[in-house]
């Protein structure tokens, strides 16, 4: 498997591409329907703080794109059939934080009423939206944690930093990114400006990004994480604790010291 298309059968690619294309059509339909009701149209999209017709259509498109992205997790040639009584049906690709090799696969029918169908994904998204309680407006910004905290000086920080080379976050994110970009590239042009997820600044100790040099990868990770925590310390509100979740312990041993004992690196959590 050398291309993302290799993760799907030709039939699955047709299904996903079709649904991804329909997201844009649904957005245009939402704009037309909203205009007919006389809803205010300020012409500003959701990504720029809009609250009118355009932003409403962007929101609809976003939810549908998330449903398509979720469906990709069930419409791959890496899905297995779960036969245990509690989970009878199609098992999704990301049963853990990795893309696993499988000996054989099960294929869902998107337009059926059985396991892994399209409406299952839509209904899950709808449940989340229906259950959300919005008290105050929120905003998420994508920034480099080693150089910026977005001007905040009294923040409450709670973070789950990367675990050395244990999880390839951005590489795994590409599985979903390629479909989200297809559906929402025009809605969130800044987030989807690249063909794949940007990887150069990601704080993981991945040797392949440094020509296979494990030491360079380790140095990049530790120095970068140090800079990120220095920035967090500057911005953290002094009256509250900064909480960090770090549940990974590096257990690999790669060299033996003179006393015959194996030494572990990097240090544990």
- What φ, ψ does residue 36 adopt, rounded to 5°? -65, -25
pLDDT band at residue 250 using 50, 70 and 90 as cut-offs: low
Calpha distance 186→57 (Å, rounded): 12
In this model, does residue 9 exceed pLDDT 90? yes
pLDDT at 145: 86
Average pLDDT over residues 194-222: 90
pLDDT at 249: 56
264: part of which helix (H) or strand (E)? Answer: strand 262-264
In this model, does residue 240 exceed pLDDT 80? yes
Residue pLDDT, tens place only, 110-143: 999 888 899 999 999 999 989 888 778 777 778 8
Residue pLDDT, tens place only, 61-117: 999 999 999 999 999 999 999 888 787 888 889 888 888 888 999 999 999 988 889
pLDDT at 248: 63
Average pLDDT over residues 143-159: 81
- pTM for the complete prediction? 0.82
Calpha distance 6→20 (Å, rounded): 18
| Nearest of 114, 75, 74 to residue 95 by alpha carbon | 74
**Percent over 90 (pLDDT), the chain:** 42
pLDDT at 264: 42
DSSP 83: -
Calpha distance 100→172 (Å, rounded): 11
Pairing verdict, β 158-159 and 243-244: parallel
DSSP 185: T
Residue 178 contacts residue 17 (beta carbons within 8 Å): no
Average pLDDT over residues 218-224: 92
**Which token pair is 211?**
């020509």
- What φ, ψ does residue 228 adopt, rounded to 5°? -65, -45
In sequence order, the β-bridge partners of residue 256 are 262
Task: Please report where in the chains the tokens 């040639």 appear, as a residue.
Answer: 77
pLDDT at 96: 82
DSSP 49: T
Average pLDDT over residues 169-185: 92
Residue 211 contacts residue 259 (beta carbons within 8 Å): no
44-48, 151-155, 173-177: least confidently modelled range: 151-155
Calpha distance 27→62 (Å, rounded): 9
């Amino acid at each position: 498997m050398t291309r993302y298309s290799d993760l799907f059968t030709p039939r699955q690619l047709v299904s996903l591409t079709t649904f991804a294309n329909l997201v844009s059509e649904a957005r245009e339909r939402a704009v037309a329907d909203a205009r007919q009701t006389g809803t205010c149209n300020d012409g500003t999209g959701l990504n720029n703080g809009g609250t009118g017709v355009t932003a409403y259509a962007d929101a609809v498109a976003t939810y549908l794109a998330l449903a398509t992205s979720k469906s990709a997790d069930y419409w791959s040639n890496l899905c297995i059939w779960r036969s245990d009584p509690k989970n009878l049906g199609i098992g999704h690709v990301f049963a853990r934080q990795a893309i696993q090799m499988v000996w054989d696969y099960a294929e869902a029918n998107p337009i059926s009423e059985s396991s892994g169908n399209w409406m299952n994904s839509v209904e899950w998204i709808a449940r989340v939206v229906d259950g959300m309680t919005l008290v105050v407006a929120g905003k998420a910004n994508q920034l480099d944690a080693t150089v910026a905290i977005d001007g905040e000086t009294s923040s409450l920080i709670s973070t789950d930093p990367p675990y050395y080379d244990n999880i390839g976050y951005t590489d795994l994110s590409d599985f979903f990114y390629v479909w989200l970009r297809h559906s929402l590239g025009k809605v969130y042009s800044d987030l989807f400006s690249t063909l794949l997820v940007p990887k150069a600044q990601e704080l993981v100790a991945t040797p392949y990004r440094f020509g296979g040099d494990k030491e360079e990868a380790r140095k990049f990770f530790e120095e970068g994480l140090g800079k990120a925590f220095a920035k967090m310390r500057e911005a953290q509100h002094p009256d509250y604790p900064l909480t960090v979740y770090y549940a990974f312990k590096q257990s690999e041993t790669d060299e033996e010291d003179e006393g015959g004992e194996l030494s572990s690196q990097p240090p544990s959590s």
